[in-house]
Amino acid sequence: MRRSYWFLPALVVLLMGATGSAQAQSFKTESGHAAFTSSVPLHTFTGLSDHLVGRIDLGEATVDFFLDLTTLDTGIGKRDKDMRETLETDRFPFAEFFGTLEGFDLASSAAQPVRVRGAFKLHGVSREVEIEETLQRTDSGLKVDAAWSVNLEDYDIVPPRLLIVKVDEVQQVRIEALLPPENR
């Protein structure tokens, strides 16, 4: 029996075309802004980083963010080192999220509330989370603004103590980033 393979090159071309159109809807940054706010009695402090790496692929409807935790700066070097030891950044250097995006209309340039669902991983522990965030298409790319709470104990992190005062186990996390269109 004679087999015909004429469709295979066509399939390859079609697949490449489909992939190409998805890539055109991909946005990525390596300099997003991440912050956490931590509380002890009578005092709060904030850790900041401008090394947030993120990609949003609208074709795949995926959201992928990660942060090298050693880049967080609380303003006091000694406290930074204490934080790195608490988070065991030598073993678990990243906080990361990978999930799916729902409810974003690319045609609109207004800031839109959207929902992402996926796995947030910290200190080697991965938990399913759902985060409400704001997403906006601008001429420069996609603008992301999200805030949520992280309970350290959910991630097997023992809150550190400053002298005898224990740091609150609930940390407020916020990310802000502008993701330019990605050239892959």
Partner 1 sequence: MLLLRNLTVPALALCLSAGAVAQMPRDRADPGGPVDEVFWAPTVILTSSVTNLPQGNLNVTILHAFGIATDGVETLFGLDGSANIRFGIDYGVFDRLSVGIGRSRFDKLYDARFKANLLRQTKDDRIPVEVALKGDVGITTLANGFAFADRLSYFASLLVARKVTDRLSLQVSPMVSHFNTVFIERGAGDEILEEENDHIAVGLAGRFVLSRRVAILAEYLPVLGNRSDGTADVFSVGLDLETGGHVFQLFFTSSQWLTEQHALACNADDFFAGDFRFGFNVNRVFSLGR
Binding site for partner 1 (CB under 8 A): 3, 5, 8, 11-12, 15-16, 18-19, 22, 28, 51, 53, 55, 57, 60, 62, 64, 66, 68, 70-71, 74-82, 84-85, 93-94, 96, 98, 160-163
Closest to partner 1 by CB, 15 vs 111, is: 15
Conformation bin of residue 77: beta by default, left when phi > 0, alpha when psi is -120 to 50: alpha
Q: Give yes or no for a contact between 161 and 167, defined as CB atoms under 8 angstroms apart.
A: yes
Task: State in angstroms the smallest separation of the CB of 30 from partner 1.
Answer: 9
User: Residues near 122 by Cβ (< 8 Å), separated by ≥ 6?
Assistant: 87, 92, 95, 96, 150, 155, 157
Four-point Cα dihedral 177, 119, 44, 67, nearest 10 = -50
Task: State in angstroms the smallest separation of the CB of 46 from partner 1.
Answer: 8
Closest to partner 1 by CB, 110 vs 162, is: 162
Q: Give yes or no for a contact between 70 and 46, defined as CB atoms under 8 angstroms apart.
A: no
The tokens of 116 are what? 């992402």
User: Residues near 171 by Cβ (< 8 Å), separated by ≥ 6?
Assistant: 36, 37, 38, 149, 150, 151, 152
Closest to partner 1 by CB, 86 vs 134, is: 86
Task: State in angstroms the smallest separation of the CB of 85 from partner 1.
Answer: 6
Task: State in angstroms the smallest separation of the CB of 109 from partner 1.
Answer: 26
Could you give the 3-state DSSP secondary structure of residue 30? strand
Closest to partner 1 by CB, 59 vs 148, is: 59
Task: State in angstroms the smallest separation of the CB of 5 from partner 1.
Answer: 5
Closest to partner 1 by CB, 33 vs 79, is: 79
